[in-house]
Amino acid sequence: MAETEKNAGRNHDTLNLYIYAAGVMLLFLDKQGIIREINRKGCEILGYDEDEILDKKFTEIFLSQAKTDQNQLAFLNYIAESKETSGSPEFDITTKNG
């Protein structure tokens, strides 16, 4: 294995360690809004086990049912943007226990 590959592997392992040990929620979505990764704190805050939410649509699980269509559209438009934005919109989410 080349030295560059070894370093990349170590860097990836270190990044994963930080992500999963972080004291804040970190949630990674793809451009379709599918949950690809979540850290331990995120599961704790949201009340779900990792296997209950991975590979599921964020909008279907967490966005308020009262404003589902409006929130889903705004959320999907936001994550579909390919350019960087100066601010981040806020979305009310619903945890497992409501």
pLDDT for 94 = 84
pLDDT, tens digit (0-9, with 9 covering 90-100), for 7-44: 555 666 777 777 777 788 888 888 888 999 898 899 99
Closest CA to 38 of 52, 30, 50: 50
pLDDT, tens digit (0-9, with 9 covering 90-100), for 60-92: 888 766 556 666 667 667 766 655 555 666 777
